[in-house]
Amino acid sequence: MSGKPTSGSDTSDSSDTEKEGVAGFMSRAREQAQQGMASATESDAFASVEHAVEGVAANTMSEGRLFDVADALSDYRLNEVDVTDTTCGYCAVGCRFDVYSKDGEVLGTRPNPEKAPINGISTCVKGKFSYGFANSDDRLTQPLVKDEGEFREASWDEALSRVKEGLEGIQEEYGPDALGLVASSKATNEDNYVMQRFAREVLGTNNIDNCNRLCHAATVEGLSDTLGFGAASTGLAALEDTDCYVLVGSNTTEAHPVFGTRIKQNVRDGADLLVFDPRKTQIAEYADQFTRIEPGYDTTWINGMIRYILAEDLHDEAFIEERVDGLEKIRESVQQFTPEFVEEKAGVPPEELKSAAETIATADSCMFGWTLGLVEHSHGTDNIYAIANLALITGHVGHPKGGLSPFRGQNNVQGGGGDMGPLPNNFPGYQPVTDEENREKFADRWQMDLDQMPAEEGYRLTEMFLAADQGDLRGMFIQGENPQISEPNIGHATEVLEELEFLAVQDIFLTETAEYADVVLPATSTVESNGTYTSSSRHVQLVKRAIEPNGEAKEDWEITQALAKRFGYDWGFDSPSDIMDEIADLTPIYGGISHERLEEEGGLQWPCRSEDDHGTPYLYADEFRAVEGSEKAQMHVADAIEPGETPDEEFPLVMTSGRVLYQYHTGTMTLREEGLDAYSAESFVEINPETAAEYGVADGETVTLTSRHGTTEMRADITDRPSPGEVFVPMHYLEGGANNLTKEEPLDGPSRAPEFKVTDVEVTLENEPTDDERSPTETDSGSDERPAASDD
Ligand SMILES: Nc1nc2c(c(=O)[nH]1)N[C@H]1C(S)=C(S)[C@@H](COP(=O)(O)OP(=O)(O)OC[C@H]3O[C@@H](n4cnc5c(=O)[nH]c(N)nc54)[C@H](O)[C@@H]3O)O[C@H]1N2
Ligand SMILES: Nc1nc2c(c(=O)[nH]1)N[C@H]1C(S)=C(S)[C@@H](COP(=O)(O)OP(=O)(O)OC[C@H]3O[C@@H](n4cnc5c(=O)[nH]c(N)nc54)[C@H](O)[C@@H]3O)O[C@H]1N2
Ligand code: SF4
Ligand SMILES: [Mo]
């Protein structure tokens, strides 16, 4: 029996409440909350517990912990409980809720629909319950410095001096471009803005990047080239009210639960839902058409669909004529993607291709939603060109209820990972660093000599790890990122972290990555910070401190500002609101945004260019902005076919990797959550029953997976979610996690993002006398031994 949850438990919205097998638990819990309610009927806090209890996803929290929360609230007089409205610090859906806290501890959260434009009354299990990490005993509370291989506590003064010496030493010996900075998409916009300013102004390098590179970098690249902005064109109307959803490579109910709930509601009300994924995800069960595709072949089926639409004259001629460039080259480039070719390569039967094409082409509005299944490929940017082409030829972009909607990942990857410019190629607001006028504008505002402003694009995150290999990058400063687990190929990432001459890490925990650091700086977490996050739908929303920082931890921006001061730069920001004012001055798409307005008006969707601009619910109503001097969208040919690696005798299975509902990335927050850690606390591999039978693998058995790049063990979970011949491994774990098997190259050409979604592997059983002593590249006889496994 596997301990993995079913994906049925997603949002704690009223429509997804009661779950099987927990009825007794629920009624007892409700009873207890109602008793509390009876003694304090006016109590918001009790209402919160009531809501929490009713809505709790099955077994997500231990019964004991849930009652603790109820008890805690009933023990306190109401006026002693603090209530703070803030934005969720997990994913980019951008849910808002009130945090109930007492004596520095988060008791619970409750959405306040008046302040929650995106989620209304919904949240998911993470937003509702997963704040135990904030009070965890092993939070970093004091700076640490390493002496002779051992950490010891240090004062801020000593720790900052050590960071300065470390960075400066490398800068002086090898030049500023031997340094690499990683900014954090968990942190606020204001934190990220000062981080990129620090890289450019203080250190003099554009080597700054963040987790977007491992994520939607190809989306940003592809959408900027085609439409203008590297962001969702859609707002909430499309999400809630479109006539047709096309979901590609998105495990929506687990990774973006509240979006999942919205989509399911609209589908119940009659919208069409087409899902393209190699895995039978929960959202696929709600689909009018679920098409299982071969991992890595999205361009193939999308081009095949475009070919069919053009051949049948189902395209939107008037829209293309008026608003789109490039039809003829696209028409020519898709000719090779015949129905037979699509079926052979991508596994999509011609009837499914045809019926989906007709649904899309004839829908009044259509939202194309996608996540990493479409993106994390060695031709990820081509995949985005392809889906954008499909949306454009069917005329579904620039419509209030339709458009292109990447579901972004980290809580603030849209803002802090992109808009704020912690990027090697762009200043804030996607203003290229190589453009002379931009350099002048920023140098002028920061009162720098223009020739001190770096003029070349810097390394992308993935390139930093490759440059370190070559000795071209010697030191790193990593804020709120855990690359030892999240970078492709843990073996490679570990080598790099070990070999760096200097490493500083700023985090809320002593992470696996931080263990390699010379200095560790303690930051505040989402519930102890102030500032803004920008959601997937471009809503800029306030984040507010609900509990005081632990020990000596400081907000990320404060640490960066203090460090800049050590280098002799006095920025003089008193608050995140001050920083936002500078952002607004220099970043046209944020030109009208200020903390005062956000407080008064709620979230503002960029572009919001001036004080009287109320933001932009959806993009491209009138014009595209892909190239200067043209208002037309620019279609690009997307003719890449094969993924970076294809199965052979030695590695006959295709592994894809991703997430589960109850865990978040490298687990620093969710693996500390009592209740959540009972679910998916360790790694597993999903194997189709047919494949399991072929290999003789039993459910729950430990198996070894070996790829061309590494090897690791995990528990087998036999399920028909993956197709035969394909396996799925979550990314959340150091031991047994997917990145023990993935590769650091090849990267996607334009975006330099890794191919997390396709890795060829072989499965062996523990008792087989194979692979263990061999290095993966030498496993040449593995295929001979494989069938023997089925003897078991
Ligand atoms: N619970 C939870 N939620 C999260 C996160 C988390 O760690 N935990 N992380 C957040 C972040 S940063 C991100 S970026 C998002 C990611 O959100 P998602 O991208 O939705 O999550 P994944 O599980 O990585 O992958 C999604 C799907 O891609 C499919 N897929 C794999 N290969 C292919 C392919 O070749 N083609 C197609 N079409 N599909 C393929 C997989 O089968 C899987 O169902 O989630 C965010 N939300
Ligand atoms: N195989 C495989 N690998 C993947 C993926 C995949 O699908 N498959 N997905 C990729 C994707 S999409 C992503 S986004 C990355 C995610 O990779 P990471 O960004 O490395 O993962 P997280 O665990 O979210 O790391 C965030 C870190 O920030 C810390 N933190 C939290 N809040 C704060 C704060 O306010 N300030 C500071 N300073 N630190 C804070 C956390 O403790 C944690 O250490 O993983 C990538 N890796
Ligand atoms: S859907 Fe995302 S933003 Fe909303 S509560 Fe869950 S983790 Fe937070
Ligand atoms: Mo992500």
Map out the domains of the chain as residue ranges. Answer: 21-135, 144-209+414-605, 217-406, 653-780
| 494 pLDDT higher than 70 | yes
Architecture of domain 653-780: Beta Barrel (2.40)
What's the 787 CA to ligand 1 centre distance in angstroms? 32
From the alpha carbon of 413, which atom of ligand 1 is closest?
12
The confidence score (pLDDT) of residue 792 equals: 25
| 27 pLDDT higher than 60 | no
The string over 735-754, giving b where at least 16 C-beta atoms fall within 10 Å of a residue's C-beta and e elsewhere, is: ebbbbbbbbbeebbebbbbb
Q: Which of 20-24, 266-270, 687-691 has the lowest mean pLDDT?
A: 20-24
Regarding the beta carbon of 93 and ligand 3, being less than 6 Å apart is answered yes
Closest protein CA for atom 2 of ligand 3: 91
pLDDT bin (cut points 50, 70, 90) of residue 52 is very low
> Which H or E run includes 706?
strand 702-707
Q: Which of 408, 364, 369, 362 is nearest to 387 (CA)?
A: 369
Regarding the beta carbon of 95 and ligand 3, being less than 6 Å apart is answered yes
- Residue, of 427 and 42, whose pLDDT is higher: 427
Whole-structure pTM value: 0.90
* Nearest ligand, CA 722: 1
Q: Which two tokens stand for residue 753?
A: 């993002």
Judge whether 465 and 492 are in contact, CB under 8 Å: yes
> Which DSSP category does 652 fall into?
-
Q: Which of 439-443, 476-480, 670-674 has the lowest mean pLDDT?
A: 670-674
Q: Which two tokens stand for residue 664?
A: 């978040």
DSSP string, 300-322: HHHHHHHHHHHHTT-S-HHHHHH
What's the 506 CA to ligand 2 centre distance in angstroms? 13
* Nearest ligand, CA 136: 2
| 490 pLDDT higher than 50 | yes
Report the C-alpha gap between 93 and 13 in whole angstroms.
Answer: 15
Report the C-alpha gap between 587 and 421 in whole angstroms.
Answer: 10
What's the 705 CA to ligand 4 centre distance in angstroms? 24
* Nearest ligand, CA 211: 2
Model pLDDT for residues 61-95, shown as the tens digit of each residue: 444 444 455 555 555 545 678 999 999 999 999 99
Regarding the beta carbon of 258 and ligand 3, being less than 6 Å apart is answered yes
DSSP string, 590-643: GTT--HHHHHHH--EESP--STT----SSS-SS---SSTT--SEE-------S-
Regarding the beta carbon of 402 and ligand 3, being less than 6 Å apart is answered no
| 512 pLDDT higher than 90 | yes
Closest protein CA for atom 8 of ligand 3: 127
Report the C-alpha gap between 700 and 239 in whole angstroms.
Answer: 38
Pocket perturbation via mutation, ligand 2, pick of 86, 372, 481 by most ligand atoms within 8 A of CB: 481
What's the 483 CA to ligand 2 centre distance in angstroms? 8
From the alpha carbon of 485, which atom of ligand 2 is closest?
20
Percent of residues, the chain, with pLDDT higher than 90: 80
From the alpha carbon of 87, which atom of ligand 3 is closest?
3
Q: Which two tokens stand for residue 45?
A: 């806090």
The confidence score (pLDDT) of residue 679 equals: 67
Report the C-alpha gap between 390 and 348 in whole angstroms.
Answer: 17
Q: Which residues surround ligand 4, an ion (CB under 5 A)?
A: 215, 409
Closest protein CA for atom 23 of ligand 1: 658
Query: For the chain, what's the residue count?
Result: 792
Quick one: average pLDDT of 107-120?
91
Model pLDDT for residues 432-450, shown as the tens digit of each residue: 999 999 999 999 999 999 9
> Would you call 226 exposed, middle or buried from its count of C-beta atoms within 10 A (0-12, 13-18, 19+)?
buried
Closest protein CA for atom 37 of ligand 2: 480
| 112 pLDDT higher than 50 | yes
Instruction: For 307, list phi and psi in degrees, rounded to 5.
Output: -60, -45
What's the 263 CA to ligand 3 centre distance in angstroms? 15
The confidence score (pLDDT) of residue 671 equals: 82
Q: Which two tokens stand for residue 520?
A: 């560790």
The confidence score (pLDDT) of residue 107 equals: 87
> Which DSSP category does 549 fall into?
P
| 742 pLDDT higher than 80 | yes
Closest protein CA for atom 5 of ligand 3: 127
Pocket perturbation via mutation, ligand 3, pick of 90, 535, 673 by most ligand atoms within 8 A of CB: 90
| 684 pLDDT higher than 80 | yes
The confidence score (pLDDT) of residue 680 equals: 74
| 640 pLDDT higher than 90 | yes
pLDDT bin (cut points 50, 70, 90) of residue 30 is very low
What's the 168 CA to ligand 3 centre distance in angstroms? 40
Report the C-alpha gap between 656 and 279 in whole angstroms.
Answer: 9
Architecture of domain 144-209+414-605: 3-Layer(aba) Sandwich (3.40)
Q: Which of 48-62, 679-693, 723-737, 742-756 has the lowest mean pLDDT?
A: 48-62
> Which H or E run includes 477?
strand 475-479
The confidence score (pLDDT) of residue 667 equals: 85
- Considering only the top CATH level, what class is 21-135? mainly beta
Between the alpha carbon of residue 183 and those of residues 180, 229, 446, 481, 525, the distances in Å are 10, 21, 20, 8, 15
Q: Which of 14-18, 447-451, 557-561 has the lowest mean pLDDT?
A: 14-18
* Nearest ligand, CA 669: 2
Query: Which one-letter amino acid corresponds to residue 786?
Result: R
Quick one: average pLDDT of 687-716?
97
The confidence score (pLDDT) of residue 20 equals: 31
CATH number among 3.40.190.10, 3.30.360.10, 3.40.228.10, 2.40.50.140, domain 217-406: 3.40.228.10
Mean pLDDT, the chain, integer: 88
From the alpha carbon of 90, which atom of ligand 3 is closest?
7
Pocket perturbation via mutation, ligand 3, pick of 10, 16, 95 by most ligand atoms within 8 A of CB: 95
Pocket perturbation via mutation, ligand 3, pick of 56, 124, 534 by most ligand atoms within 8 A of CB: 124
Closest protein CA for atom 35 of ligand 1: 295
Quick one: average pLDDT of 154-163?
98
What's the 486 CA to ligand 2 centre distance in angstroms? 7
Model pLDDT for residues 186-222, shown as the tens digit of each residue: 999 999 999 999 999 999 999 999 999 999 999 999 9
Residue given tokens 């993966």 in the structure block? 776
From the alpha carbon of 297, which atom of ligand 1 is closest?
35
Instruction: For 431, list phi and psi in degrees, rounded to 5.
Output: -95, 115
Model pLDDT for residues 320-365, shown as the tens digit of each residue: 999 999 999 999 999 999 999 999 999 999 999 999 999 999 999 9
* Nearest ligand, CA 756: 2
- Which residues does ligand 1 sit against, CB inside 6 Å? 91, 215, 248-251, 254-256, 276-279, 281, 293, 295-296, 298, 371-374, 409-410, 656, 658-659, 661, 663-665, 757
Judge whether 16 and 10 are in contact, CB under 8 Å: yes
- Residue, of 75 and 309, whose pLDDT is higher: 309
pLDDT bin (cut points 50, 70, 90) of residue 51 is very low
